[in-house]
C-alpha cells in the first residue's frame, strides 16, 4: 500500500555469480492457501502486461512458479511514482501497464504456461488528489466524485483533521478515516460493496484466479466477507493486514476470508540473518507467534517493506538475500511469494518508463532486478514443489549460523552463513540413494545437472564441503538417472 510506511514509523565472487544468475450469490469458499501442487507466487511488481506474459511462458512456467502476482490493473491517477497505481480513478482495465486486451492476452498466456494470475486489488479507497483531474485513460474525477462509480455519499468523513487517521490504536479511525488523504470508501454500504464486487467479477471474467486485497486492515473483516460473497466464482484471497504491536486490529481477524500476509516473517528473518543465529530458526513461524501456517502468506520482502530502510532484506543485500529466500522456499511454513523488483534509489520512484510514464518492457538486470530469476531462488521453486506436504526432519545446527534439515523423504538443505567454510562433514538426508543435482549451484533439466552433483549413499548420507555464506539443496525432483 502506497506510502503507508512513512507513517510506520559478501559472498565469494563465484558464489555471488551463481546465486544471482540468471447480484448476490452464495459465498464461495475462502481459498486459504493457493490451490494446486505449485504454490509459489512471483510478484512481478509494476511489470507491464506483455512482459508478464512473456515471463510466464519463458521463466515462471518452466521454473515451476504456480502464480504470478500483478500490480493493480485499473485506471489510476497520472504521475510517475510507483504509488499512482494504488490511486484508482475508475475500474476500467486501462493503466500505464497496458490495455484490457493486453491484460486478457497476458492471463491467457500465463494459463497456457501453467501459471495462475493474482491481481493486486485496490478496494479500500480511491484517489488522494484534492484537486481531482484526468486519469490515465481519460476519465475525469474529483477527490470524492468518480463518474460512473462513486459520488460524495459513498465515502467516509470521519471528522478528524483532514479526515486522516490520527491513531492506529483507535480501531474506528483506522477503518473509517483516510489513509494518507486517500478517499476512503464506505465499504459497509450495499452500493459500494456491489460496485467493488462488479470490478472483481470483471477481472474474474477475464480469467483471473485470485486477489491480493490491498489495505485490508483499513476495512472490517466483515466488509471483505460481504464483498467476497458476491464473487461469481471461487478465487484465492490474500489480505494485506500489517501487524502492529498493541494495536486493536490484528491479522488473525481476517483469516476467515482467506490467507493473510504475515509481515513479521520478513522482519524476523532479516534480523536473524543480519545479527542473530540461524540456529534460532528451528521453530520459525508459528513457534515465533506468527499466524498459523495454513493461512499465512509470507515473503522476505515486498514492494512496501523494501522501501523501509533496514527493516527487511532486499535485492541490495545480494547473497544474504538469496540465502534468506532459499530458507523461505525450503521451510514448510506459509505460502511464499518471491519479490521481483526494479532498481530504485528514491522510494517514490516508479518503474522504468517512457516520457509519457508508460511502463517499459521489463529487461532483466537493466533497470529490473528480477530476483525471481536468480539461480538460488528460481531453482528452489522446484525444491518447494517437490517437497510439498513433507514435514521437517533431521534438523542440525552448530548453535550458530550453520543449519541443515530434511523435508522428510523428499529433500534436504544445508545453509552455512558462517564466515568460514564447513569442511569434512557428512549430512544425513533420509533420501533414497542416488545422484542429485545441487540446485543452489546448478539447474536440473532433461535428466542432467549443470552444476555440482551430490551422491547420497545407501544409508541416506552424503559428504560435502559448504563454503562460507553458501548452501546446498537436493530433492527427489532433481535426481539423476
Q: How confident is the model at residue 37 (pLDDT cuts 50, 70, 90)?
A: confident
Query: How would residue 8 be classed by pLDDT, with cut points 50, 70 and 90?
Result: very low
Q: Catalytic amino acids?
A: 214, 240
Q: Where does CATH 2.60.40.1180 sit in the chain? A: 392-480
Checking if the pLDDT of 412 tops 70, the result is yes
pLDDT digits (tens, 9 = 90+) for 149-179: 999 999 999 999 999 999 999 999 999 999 9
Q: Provide the pLDDT for residue 275.
A: 96
Report the pLDDT value the prediction gives residue 360, as an integer from 0 to 100.
98
Average pLDDT of the chain? 93
The confidence score (pLDDT) of residue 36 equals 76
The x, y and z cell numbers of residue 413, run together, are 538443505
Residues of the chain within CATH 3.20.20.80 domain(s) are: 4-386
| Residue 170 CB coordination number (10 Å) | 17
- What is the rounded average pLDDT of the residues 435-463? 97
Question: What is the number of helices (H) and of strands (E) in the chain?
Answer: 10, 21
Q: Is the pLDDT of residue 10 over 70?
A: no
Element (H, E) at 317: none
pLDDT at position 22 is 52
Residue 19, pLDDT score: 52
Cβ 298 vs Cβ 336: under 8 Å: yes
Identify the architecture of domain 4-386 in CATH: Alpha-Beta Barrel (3.20)
Using a pLDDT cut of 70, give the percent of the chain over it.
93
pLDDT at 5 over 50: no
Residue by residue, DSSP assigns 380-425 as HHHHHHHTTT--EEEEEE-SSSEEEEEETTTEEEEEE-SSS-EEEE
Higher pLDDT, 46 or 26: 46
Please tell me the CATH code under which domain 392-480 is placed.
2.60.40.1180
Radius of gyration of the chain (CA): 23
Amino acid at each position: 500500500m502506497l506510502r503507508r510506511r512513512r507513517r510506520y514509523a559478501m559472498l565469494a565472487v563465484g558464489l555471488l555469480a551463481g546465486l544471482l544468475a540468471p447480484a448476490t450469490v452464495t459465498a464461495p469458499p475462502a481459498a486459504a492457501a493457493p490451490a494446486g501442487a505449485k504454490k509459489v507466487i512471483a510478484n512481478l511488481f509494476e511489470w507491464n502486461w506483455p512482459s508478464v506474459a512473456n515471463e510466464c511462458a519463458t521463466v515462471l512456467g518452466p521454473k515451476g512458479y504456480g502464480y504470478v502476482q500483478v500490480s493493480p490493473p485499473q485506471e489510476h491517477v497520472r504521475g510517475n511514482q510507483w504509488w499512482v497505481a494504488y490511486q484508482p480513478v475508475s475500474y476500467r482495465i486501462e493503466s500505464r501497464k497496458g490495455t484490457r486486451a493486453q491484460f486478457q492476452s497476458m492471463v491467457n498466456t500465463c494459463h497456457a504456461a501453467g501459471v495462475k494470475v493474482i491481481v493486486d486489488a485496490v478496494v479500500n479507497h480511491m484517489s488522494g488528489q484534492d484537486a481531482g483531474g484526468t486519469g490515465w485513460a481519460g476519465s475525469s474525477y474529483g477527490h470524492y466524485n468518480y463518474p460512473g462509480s462513486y459520488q460524495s455519499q459513498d465515502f467516509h468523513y470521519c471528522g478528524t483533521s483532514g479526515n486522516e487517521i490520527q491513531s492506529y490504536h483507535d480501531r474506528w479511525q483506522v477503518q473509517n478515516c483516510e489513509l494518507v488523504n486517500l478517499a476512503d470508501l464506505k465499504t459497509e454500504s450495499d452500493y459500494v460493496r456491489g460496485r467493488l464486487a462488479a470490478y472483481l467479477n470483471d477481472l474474474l471474467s477475464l480469467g483471473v484466479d485470485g486477489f491480493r486485497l490491498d489495505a485490508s486492515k483499513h476495512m472490517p473483516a466483515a466488509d471483505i466477507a460481504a464483498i467476497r460473497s458476491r464473487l461469481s466464482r471461487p478465487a484465492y484471497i490474500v489480505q494485506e493486514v500489517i501487524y502492529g504491536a498493541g494495536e486493536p486490529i490484528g491479522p488473525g481477524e481476517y483469516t476467515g476470508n482467506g490467507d493473510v500476509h504475515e509481515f513479521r516473517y520478513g522482519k524476523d528473518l532479516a534480523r536473524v540473518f543480519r545479527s542473530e543465529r540461524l540456529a534460532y530458526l528451528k521453530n520459525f513461524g508459528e513457534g515465533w507467534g506468527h499466524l498459523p501456517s495454513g493461512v499465512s502468506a509470507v515473503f522476505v520482502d515486498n514492494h512496501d517493506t523494501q522501501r523501509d530502510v533496514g527493516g527487511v532484506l532486499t535485492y541490495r543485500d545480494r547473497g544474504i538475500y538469496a540465502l534468506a529466500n532459499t530458507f523461505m522456499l525450503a521451510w514448510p511454513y506459509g505460502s511464499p511469494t518471491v519479490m521481483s523488483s526494479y532498481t530504485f534509489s528514491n522510494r517514490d520512484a516508479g518503474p522504468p518508463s517512457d516520457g509519457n510514464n508508460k511502463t517499459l518492457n521489463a529487461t532483466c538486470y537493466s533497470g529490473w532486478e528480477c530476483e525471481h530469476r536468480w539461480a538460488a531462488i528460481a531453482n528452489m521453486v522446484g525444491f518447494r514443489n517437490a517437497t510439498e506436504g513433507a514435514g521437517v526432519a533431521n534438523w542440525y545446527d552448530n548453535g550458530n549460523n550453520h543449519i541443515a534439515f530434511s523435508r522428510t523423504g523428499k529433500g534436504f538443505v544445508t545453509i552455512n552463513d558462517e564466515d568460514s567454510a564447513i569442511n569434512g562433514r557428512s549430512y544425513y538426508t533420509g533420501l533414497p540413494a542416488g545422484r542429485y543435482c545441487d540446485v543452489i549451484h546448478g539447474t536440473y533439466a532433461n535428466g542432467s545437472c549443470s552444476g555440482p552433483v551430490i551422491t547420497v549413499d545407501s544409508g541416506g548420507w552424503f559428504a560435502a564441503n559448504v563454503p562460507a555464506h553458501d548452501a546446498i539443496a537436493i530433492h527427489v525432483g532433481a535426481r539423476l538417472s
